[in-house]
């Protein structure tokens, strides 16, 4: 069995769903389990409504009509068989009725809870799954749509950012999906969300369908996980920032995880976690060019030659500075600060310390909460706190980077050469990454400079062979 996940841009229309069904058919002997995202723009549209006017009833029919029409059009375009097409349209109507009720409920009681929000945004995937499944069945393949509730993608119940309960999901996989796949069926499962112990939908964060695919690959002991996108693979950097970015043929799990965590939107930050546990290889492939090799992410012990591999950028960050002479000598101060931040639900992404100050990198959305919470420690050893807004982090990754003399100096000088001020750096903590924090306005300039200097036109000798002979399941 292998898991094939198709992103929003890969299922953006009925025509594209037909393209996807063709790819699934070509891989039928590998017993695929398909995971789908919402059609492109649908999650965004629901989210935008909830953000801007959740209590406004007048906006609901506008959203509901647009979403219904989009999916009906996709079903008509994607599915030729009248019986299958009718079934898909019927499903769309039924699912939309539920979403409509939910949206009116939220507007009526004028309260948008995290629980209602997660439920509402999960509808994009619920709608896409039956249409894609019918498109696959249209080719004479036995296919059925499953939602996370049916499959038992169980979570810890944290709305907005859930964690899966892997052993329970593994058990449910054997009960529900394994028998169906065993009979030759191709399940199409909703990405993005799971359900808590009471059956309430909890999303895995934006881009979460990659993660659901990885969770199911883990649960079903898949031979491989394929993430099908609108890009030719995991690239040296975001092609929207640097158009000359090019796909990498091969990466290690830790390189991919580090980059995904620090801004490479191509993979949900946690995608690598479950599959790396079982040594299941990931391939990032291009729906628009299915024969191209894409990127293989797997267990790589060593590399012959140290090479910079890629640079990712993450925005919407802020720095909190805690200032007071002798802070570094005060026992327990770190613990106090972290306890306070933990209580305020502020996650520290990165940090640097000196004799008289701590600098903590956090999400911009947490800044006001962090500053308010830290008022409590001001006045003693910590004399003052400062907030630096609009920060971005560049994460430069390459196996062996930390052991190579001069690599940090080179990166820093390339960034300074384009007149970008470095606000904070972090190296030494990771063997494979160097993080540089700059002002958000300088982010793209810094990424371009690093890419031009180290990644432009780089070729990967190690990877050439890997593309020709695809390694099977690794044991690690
Ligand atoms: P999907 O809907 O298939 O999950 P996403 O839009 O979430 O697709 O992710 C793919 C996008 O990620 C690309 O279109 C590209 O703009 C962006 N991206 C950012 N960094 C990278 C990178 N290093 N390699 C490839 N794509 C990247
Ligand atoms: N539809 C969800 C989102 O837009 C999940 C995903 O596409 O991975 O974030
Ligand atoms: Mg995505």
Q: Name every protein residue with a CB atom under 6 angstroms from any ligand 1 atom.
A: 7-10, 37, 207, 229-231, 234-235, 237-240, 264-266, 310
Kindly report the pTM of this predicted structure: 0.93
Is the CB of 37 within 6 Å of ligand 2?
A: yes
Please report which confidence band the pLDDT of residue 404 belongs to, taking 50, 70 and 90 as the band edges.
Answer: confident
Starting from the CA of residue 43, give the closest ligand: 2
Please tell me the distance between residue 230's alpha carbon and the centre of ligand 1 in angstroms: 7
pLDDT in tens, 170-207: 999 999 999 999 999 999 999 999 999 999 999 999 99
Q: Which of 238, 246, 285, 294 to mutate to test the pocket of ligand 1 (most atoms within 8 A of CB)?
A: 238
Dist. CA 190–CA 160, nearest whole Å: 16
Q: How far is CA 418 from CA 411, 415, 421, 443, in A?
A: 12, 6, 9, 11
Atom 1 of ligand 2, residue of closest alpha carbon: 38
- pLDDT given at position 450: 96
Residue 161 reports pLDDT greater than 60: yes
What mean pLDDT do residues 392-403 have? 87
Residue of higher predicted confidence among 417 and 377: 417
Residues 345-382, buried b or exposed e (16+ Cβ, 10 A)?
Answer: ebebbbbbeeeebbbbbbbbebbeebbebbeebeeebb
Please report which confidence band the pLDDT of residue 406 belongs to, taking 50, 70 and 90 as the band edges.
Answer: confident
- pLDDT given at position 463: 40
pLDDT in tens, 347-357: 999 999 888 99
- pLDDT given at position 405: 82
Please report which confidence band the pLDDT of residue 462 belongs to, taking 50, 70 and 90 as the band edges.
Answer: very low
Query: Which residues, 6+ apart, have CB-to-CB distance to 446 below 8 Å?
Result: 313, 394, 415, 418, 420, 436, 438
Residue 414 reports pLDDT greater than 90: yes
- pLDDT given at position 202: 98
The domains located in the chain, with CATH, are 2-230 (3.40.1160.10), 308-462 (3.30.2130.10)
Largest separation between any pair of C-alpha atoms in the chain: 76
Starting from the CA of residue 8, give the closest ligand: 1
Residue of higher predicted confidence among 366 and 398: 366
Residue 300 reports pLDDT greater than 90: no
**Residue in the structure block whose two tokens are 């590998």:** 30
Q: Which atom, in ligand 2's list, is nearest to the CA of 210?
A: 8
Starting from the CA of residue 36, give the closest ligand: 2
Is the CB of 208 within 6 Å of ligand 2?
A: yes
What mean pLDDT do residues 431-449 have? 95
Starting from the CA of residue 312, give the closest ligand: 1
Cα-Cα-Cα-Cα torsion 391, 396, 402, 407, nearest 10 degrees, comes to -100
Q: What is the DSSP string of 313-382?
A: EEEEEEEEEEE-TTGGGSTTHHHHHHHHHHHTT--EEEEEE-SSEEEEEEEGGGHHHHHHHHGGGBTTTB
Query: Which residues, 6+ apart, have CB-to-CB distance to 106 below 8 Å?
Result: 50, 54, 55, 112, 116, 120
Please tell me the distance between residue 235's alpha carbon and the centre of ligand 3 in angstroms: 14
Residue 78 reports pLDDT greater than 80: yes
Please tell me the distance between residue 104's alpha carbon and the centre of ligand 1 in angstroms: 34
% of the chain at pLDDT higher than 90: 85
**Residue of 332, 325, 249 lying closest to 284 (CA atoms):** 249
- pLDDT given at position 153: 98
Phi-psi region of 298 (alpha: psi -120 to 50; beta: other; left: phi over 0): beta
Atom 6 of ligand 2, residue of closest alpha carbon: 207
Atom 2 of ligand 2, residue of closest alpha carbon: 207
Residue 285 near residue 233, CB atoms below 8 Å: yes
- pLDDT given at position 61: 98
3-state secondary structure labels for all residues of 80-119 = CCHHHHHHHHHHHHHHHHHHHHHHHHHHHHCCCCHHHHHH
User: E strand or H helix at 52, and its extent?
Assistant: helix 42-52
Is the CB of 206 within 6 Å of ligand 2?
A: yes
pLDDT in tens, 314-326: 999 999 999 998 8
- pLDDT given at position 42: 98
Please tell me the distance between residue 337's alpha carbon and the centre of ligand 2 in angstroms: 34
Dist. CA 112–CA 90, nearest whole Å: 29
Dist. CA 268–CA 250, nearest whole Å: 18
What mean pLDDT do residues 34-58 have? 97
Residue 294 near residue 284, CB atoms below 8 Å: yes
Residue 387 reports pLDDT greater than 70: yes
Is the CB of 209 within 6 Å of ligand 2?
A: yes
- pLDDT given at position 468: 33
% of the chain at pLDDT higher than 70: 95
Please tell me the distance between residue 206's alpha carbon and the centre of ligand 2 in angstroms: 5
Residue 65 near residue 37, CB atoms below 8 Å: no
Dist. CA 149–CA 162, nearest whole Å: 15
**Residue of 114, 254, 271, 285 lying closest to 208 (CA atoms):** 271
Q: Which of 42, 43, 48, 269 to mutate to test the pocket of ligand 2 (most atoms within 8 A of CB)?
A: 43
Residues 228-249, buried b or exposed e (16+ Cβ, 10 A)?
Answer: bbebbbbbbbbeebbeebbbbb
- pLDDT given at position 377: 87
pLDDT in tens, 466-475: 333 333 333 3
- pLDDT given at position 76: 98
- pLDDT given at position 65: 98
Residue 305 reports pLDDT greater than 80: no
- pLDDT given at position 473: 39
């Amino acid at each position: 069995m292998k898991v094939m996940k198709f992103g929003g841009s890969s299922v953006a229309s009925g025509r594209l769903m037909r393209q996807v069904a063709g790819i699934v058919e070509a891989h039928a002997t590998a017993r695929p389990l398909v995971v789908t995202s919402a059609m492109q723009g649908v999650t965004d549209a629901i989210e935008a409504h909830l953000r801007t006017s959740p209590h406004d009833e007048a906006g609901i029919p506008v959203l509901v009509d647009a979403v219904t029409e989009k999916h009906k059009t996709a079903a008509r375009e994607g599915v030729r068989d009248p019986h299958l097409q009718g079934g898909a349209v019927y499903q769309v109507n039924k699912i939309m009725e539920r979403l409509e009720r939910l949206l009116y409920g939220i507007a009526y009681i004028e309260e948008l809870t995290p629980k209602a929000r997660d439920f509402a945004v999960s509808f994009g995937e619920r709608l896409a799954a039956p249409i894609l499944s019918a498109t696959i069945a249209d080719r004479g393949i036995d296919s059925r749509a499953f939602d996370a509730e049916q499959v038992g993608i169980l979570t810890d119940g944290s709305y907005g950012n859930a964690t899966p309960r892997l052993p329970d999901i593994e058990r449910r996989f054997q009960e529900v999906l394994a028998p169906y796949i065993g009979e030759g069926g191709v399940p199409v499962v909703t990405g993005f969300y799971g359900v808590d112990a009471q059956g309430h939908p909890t999303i895995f964060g934006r881009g979460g369908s990659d993660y659901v695919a990885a969770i199911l690959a883990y649960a079903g002991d898949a031979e491989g996980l394929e993430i099908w996108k609108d890009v030719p693979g995991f690239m040296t950097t975001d092609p929207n920032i640097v158009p000359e970015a090019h796909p990498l043929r091969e990466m290690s799990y830790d390189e991919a995880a580090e980059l995904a965590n620090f801004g490479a939107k191509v993979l949900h930050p946690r995608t690598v976690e479950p599959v790396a546990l079982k040594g299941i290889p990931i391939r990032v492939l291009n729906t628009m060019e299915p024969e191209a090799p894409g990127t293989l992410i797997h267990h790589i012990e060593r590399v012959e030659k140290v090479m910079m591999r890629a640079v990712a950028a993450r925005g919407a960050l802020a720095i909190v500075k805690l200032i007071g002479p002798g802070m570094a000598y005060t026992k327990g101060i770190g613990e106090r600060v972290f306890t306070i931040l933990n209580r305020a639900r502020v996650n520290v992404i990165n940090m640097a310390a000196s004799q008289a100050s701590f600098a903590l990198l956090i999400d911009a959305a947490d800044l006001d909460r962090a500053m308010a919470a830290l008022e409590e420690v001001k006045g003693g050893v910590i004399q003052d706190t400062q907030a630096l807004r609009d920060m971005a982090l560049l994460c430069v990754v390459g196996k062996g980077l930390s052991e190579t003399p001069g690599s940090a100096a080179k990166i820093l000088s390339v960034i300074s050469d384009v007149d970008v001020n470095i606000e904070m750096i972090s190296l030494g903590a990771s063997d494979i990454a160097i993080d540089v924090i700059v002002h958000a306005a300088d982010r793209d300039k810094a990424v371009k400079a690093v890419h031009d200097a180290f990644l432009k036109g780089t070729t990967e000798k190690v990877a050439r062979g890997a593309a020709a002979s695809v390694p099977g399941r690794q044991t690690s």
